[in-house]
Amino acid sequence: MSRSVVTRLILKDFYLQWPTLAGSLLLGFASLALALFGGGPITFYVGSVSFLCVLILLNVLLVGSSVAQEKKDRVMLFVLSLPVSTTQYAVAKLISSLLAFLVPFCLLGAAALLVIALTPIPHGLMPLTAAVMMYVCLYFCIFLAVALAGDSALWNTVVIIFGNVTINFLIAWLLSRPSVAVAAKGPVAIWPPEILASLAVEILGSLLALAAALLIITRKKDFL
Amino acid sequence: MHSYVTISQADRRPMYLQIIEQIRHRIAVGDWKAGDELPSIRALAVDTQVSVITVKRAYLELEREGVIVTRQGKASFVAENVDLGSQLRREELDQHLAAAAQIGRELALTPEELIERLRVQMAEG
Amino acid sequence: MTDLAIELEGVAKAFRFFALSDVSLTLPCGQIMGLVGPNGAGKSTLIRILMSLIHQDRGQVRVLGRSMPEEQVAAKWQVGYVSEDMRLYGFGTLGWHMKFVASIYPSWDAPYAQTLLKRFNLRTEQQIRSLSHGERAKATLLLMLARRPRLLLLDEPTTGLDPVARHEMLIELMDVLRDERRAILFSSHNTQDVEQISDQITFIDRGRIIDSSDKETFIEHWRRLKLEVPAGVTLPTFAGVVDLEVSGRIATVTTNAHSDDLVRAYVNAGAAVHEIQRMTLEEIFVANVMASRKERAS
């Protein structure tokens, strides 16, 4: 009986978040189109930056409004008055936030990679795109973990600032590697070790963050 | 849904006494006749927004005074042969006497002095 | 399942700057308990422990016979919880919230929900964020009442409400008690509300229960005696006297064990009784808290 309550909570979150999802898909595709079909280095630059911004915004809005705001505004108290345990609430939030992020993320990511693959745009861009996008995914998982398992608006803000700043460092670092910079302009997708290392760290880091969050949530004794 | 009883916040007497007085009043004016069933304790409490325990106390007191009878532990009825008329008046008298006693205390009169003054009043009436 | 809606036995919970200690309480079905205490006394903490939002460090907690926090989900099917700081989804409508709650609880009573909408003067199309404070409180209450929970846990339900909204709320709360298998625990600073509708009253201060009894017992046992003390007479101390204040020739005695014997004892000691006053629940509460704090300090 209460498993369906968890399902209902997840569906409820989707219903409440769908404007954010739809908006990010729309803006994401628009940015992608600008970057890849704008026909010039400037439009490419502007388009790709806004593409990234859309992903980051999606991340922050999802976790911010669904997890952090619910806690702050005590809407959480309303949901917890329903027949769910505190653990079930947190797990439902984890699942719904993850899915809400991954759906547009994968769609946009796949679209980006596909467009590059099917057009005369240098395929060398693909690994770089993948590495940068996965970083946003890592950022999301860490933010979600901190917001869910922690109770501090301060820490949430720290994660946002940290995430927004370090992504620039990543891009700068990757582009400074000669193997990456050269490969990016090439017609074939090459995966230099820096790219592979980044991807490994990002994927592992995401999984670790989610696992840690789950561990903390299930052991939590005080939800307020 | 009408309230059989209303509690006044301005009335400083305890709520159970207010309930007792209003029930007696209803009986006295004939709304509830001998043998009529009173609302259940819970129903009266809910309709008046007063604690069940207070209504219970009022009913117990009324039963002690012979104004109502509780049968089968559940339903309460107005007692047969209830003579409220004089009882109500006696209550009224007690209230007046309490007020007189209060003034007497403030004037530091002894009971005997107070009784003397009462004798004067009764002689005049 | 059992006759007791709430059972707390030796419950303790420590925070950094505050601790609930040795809390034991019972509330039978069919009754209302008012929980009264100053700000920070632990009322919200106690209710959150009952809802398993906070887990106790020690002690037994049973709600409708279910052990908390282990059986919290089972308990929550029949328990309603509304707290003053609880919020609904601002961008949702009241209608959406009603559909959502109704989809979860088979006990949702749709006709009753409609009645409550009319009584509270709310409309389903209203967005929550457009509601006033009082309307929001009533909306939250409606969502809880319409599914007819057996036990209601209310954390300051009437705080911040205008007198009309308060009156409407009290009517609905009392209505719950038509069914003697249901029960209500509510916390409040508004001693007037507590005094009016509670069967049981519990005073809590600084994390401890300082007194718990039925309402009529409180009202009957507490009195203020105004005595005139002639010169040269010192009043002896008697058991059951919570406070004694002497100012000139007038002494004010506050007692929680009023009896004719006590009055006679003072008269025999040489005092004259000027007045015996009953005390309102607010006066009883303040006197009780002051006395308990004095005792703890010594």
Asked if C73's CB is within 8 angstroms of A75's CB, the reply is no
Asked if C81's CB is within 8 angstroms of A77's CB, the reply is yes
> 3-state DSSP call for residue A123?
coil
Place of tokens 């009241």: C94
CA distance C50 to C4: 14
Q: In the predicted model, what is the mean pLDDT of residues C216-221?
A: 93
Asked if A85's CB is within 8 angstroms of C87's CB, the reply is no
> 3-state DSSP call for residue A194?
helix
Residues of C in contact with B12 (CB under 8 A): 278
CA distance A4 to A10: 10
Q: In the predicted model, what is the mean pLDDT of residues C15-19?
A: 91
Place of tokens 């209303």: B6
Structure tokens at B82: 């209830």
CA distances from C288 to A69, A180, C36 (A): 40, 76, 11
Q: In the predicted model, what is the mean pLDDT of residues C22-45?
A: 94
What is the pTM (predicted TM-score) of this model? 0.87
Residues of A in contact with C103 (CB under 8 A): 8
Q: Which residues of chain B are modeled with pLDDT < 70?
A: 1-3, 83-89, 125
> 3-state DSSP call for residue A216?
helix
* pLDDT tens digit sequence for A148-193: 888 888 999 999 999 999 999 998 998 888 888 888 888 888 888 8
C-alpha dihedral, A29 to A34 to A36 to A38, nearest 10°: 150
| Contact present, B and A (at least 3 Cβ pairs less than 8 Å) | no
Banded model confidence at residue A126, pLDDT cuts 50, 70, 90: confident
Beta bridge partners of C33: C185, C200
Q: In the predicted model, what is the mean pLDDT of residues C11-17?
A: 93
pLDDT of residue A71: 82
pLDDT of residue B1: 43
In the sheet that holds C250-255, the strands lie side by side as C241-247, C250-255, C223-228, C272-278
pLDDT of residue A66: 85
> 3-state DSSP call for residue C88?
coil
pLDDT of residue A3: 59
pLDDT of residue A2: 56
Work out the minimum CA distance from C290 to partner chain A, whole angstroms: 30
pLDDT of residue C137: 92
pLDDT of residue C89: 93
Q: What percent of chain A has pLDDT over 70?
A: 98
pLDDT of residue C145: 96
CA distance C17 to A27: 48
pLDDT of residue A224: 66
CA distance C285 to C243: 13
Cis peptide before C38 (omega within 30 of 0): no
A65 pLDDT higher than 80: yes
